Amino acid sequence: MNAEDARQSPIQSWLEARRPWHRAALALVAGALAVLGHAPFQFAPAFMASIMTLIWLLDAAARRKRPIASAFAAGWCFGAGYFLVGMSWVSSAFLVDTDTWGPIWGIPATGALTLGLALFWGAGCALAMAFWTRDMRRVAVFAACLFISEWLRGHVFGGLPWLLPGYIWTPGEPISQLASLVGAYGLSLLTLLIAAAPATLLDAQHKLSARIAPLLAAALVVGMGWGWGAQRIARAPVDQPGAQPMVRVAESGLGQAEKWRAAPDQEWRVLRRYLEATGSPEGSRASIVIWPEGAIPVVNFFMLENPVFLDALGRALGDRVLIVGTTRRELRGQELLYFNSAAIIDGVSGAARVSPQIYDKNHLVPFGEIMPFEDFVNSLNIPSLQAMGGYFTPGARPTRMVVPGAPEAVVLICYETIFPGMVPRGAERPGWIVSVTNDSWFGGGIGPQQHYAMARYRAIEEGLPLARAASGGVSGIIDSFGREASSTRRRGNYAEAQIPPALVETIMARYGNALLVTLLLLVGGLRLLPTKTGNANQ
């Protein structure tokens, strides 16, 4: 054993002595366990322990003949375990219509998606290895480089920022309030830095004071973040004084396959379930009712075109307002276009009046609502693959919509709530956010719980209350701190509460990513700190 090996900790020496497939398996398991940090578990220590393991695996990679390739392999294996477990729920969507897709399509489709997402973790670790050190500075290198790869994952090819590291903090609690300053991405950068810091405790080549310094710094960040978040919750100024209207979010309680059942008058059966959850005008205090995305998902049924259906709906609504997700079509020239939309229907003395303001979903789901590289896919002539793509047309970005009897709102449909920055800001800032989504595609697994947690972070970032109607997921009324005012986890098929007040515009809403860029430069700049010998490349 040489002198350099002698200065390694037993764990680092053990990892370096393992065969490549042993390290790959450990990275895979560590990535899988990291999912315990996210909803519905929210066990942050599991995520942190997994990240420490990844740091030690990268330490071993740094001593290989091809360190960057070894680092990529470790990061990719970690990401594979992370996304295979954390996004396993995707396969459930293929079980809804097995006649079209077949029961086995969910396995390769989910595998291709998750292993593709793992490439970003591999790339982040490879980038980190290009700047790796054997001292505490590698913690900052890791956090900055993984943040860059996670930011790219949220933007490249439309982006899929699912399971961002920052989401391990329960929304509504003090630490999560940091998202009002730097957003979910900035909180992810801080989370990676905090999670990686304890790895330096095993740096046997350094004095105890040097090994413990990153841990103390991380504890200080957590403590200060918690204290600031608690103070924000207690003292944040309100932007809208006065009483807000009562809102009820309701859903049918039917699974996706049951809603899609080919039966005569199916739309009326589904409507009755929604009306039961909505309640009568006399039995509910809510003046605004929200139904989920695709509330009446009957093939070739377009509720906004059906006067008989609208007449029955108007009688049930009374004088209430309904915000509902629905499919609509529109003839433009010679082309008939289809949209995944949200409409506002104002019940006036028992008559339904559809508002001319209709939001058409802007950010469509690839392979679900729109087919990337459609011409190429069609040329393959694989019916099951072609069926994965939708036929929807994207609309314009979300704008404020007039909701009778309530502040102006912005509507986000389905997974639009996982993208920070979709809510208009500045002079166009709304008074609240409405989220309509259909999570019943994904059964009762962890996917709908993760989606709900991410949606709550949009309320924190913007300082706006959120009303979320989710078919098959969690529906609820969320305040401007990401806390539940009411949810279907307590009541069943509906939740009802007064719209919480909006806060004054947050730092994140006012300045966007300016503070995030500053934070990244500060963390990345730690790599340039001199070592004890003054050699920055040591």
CA 336 to chain CA mean position, Å? 32
Is 293 designated active site? yes
The secondary element (H helix, E strand) that includes residue 138 is helix 137-153
Q: What is the largest CA-CA distance in the chain?
A: 87
Could you say which of 145, 150, 361, 461 is catalytic? 361
Instruction: Please say whether the beta carbons of 412 and 398 come within 8 A.
Output: yes
Q: Distance between CA atoms of 125 and 376, rounded to whole angstroms?
A: 33
Number of other CB atoms surrounding residue 68 within 10 Å: 17
The secondary element (H helix, E strand) that includes residue 271 is helix 266-278
Instruction: Please say whether the beta carbons of 278 and 316 come within 8 A.
Output: yes
Could you say which of 16, 150, 251, 293 is catalytic? 293
Q: Distance between CA atoms of 354 and 305, rounded to whole angstroms?
A: 10
Nearest to 508 by CA among 466, 459, 468: 459
Which pair of structure tokens corresponds to residue 221? Answer: 């960040």
Verify cis geometry, omega within 30 degrees of 0, for the bond prior to 40. yes
DSSP three-state, residue 249: strand
Q: Distance between CA atoms of 57 and 27, rounded to whole angstroms?
A: 8
Distances (CA, A) of 334 to 337, 338, 369, 391, 475: 10, 13, 22, 16, 39
Is 145 designated active site? no
Cα dihedral: 224, 183, 235, 488 (round 10) = -110
Q: Quick one: how many helices (H) and strands (E) in the chain?
A: 19, 11
Question: Which residues, in sequence order, are CB contacts of 131 under 8 Å at separation 6+?
Answer: 141, 145, 527
Which pair of structure tokens corresponds to residue 65? Answer: 């003949």
Q: Distance between CA atoms of 109 and 472, rounded to whole angstroms?
A: 22
Please spell the DSSP secondary structure of 333-375, one letter per residue. TTEEEEEEEEEEEEEETTEEEEEEEEEEPSSPPBTTTB-TTHH
Q: Distance between CA atoms of 184 and 410, rounded to whole angstroms?
A: 20
Number of other CB atoms surrounding residue 95 within 10 Å: 16
Could you say which of 150, 414, 462, 484 is catalytic? 414
Query: Mind telling me the catalytic residues?
Result: 293, 361, 414
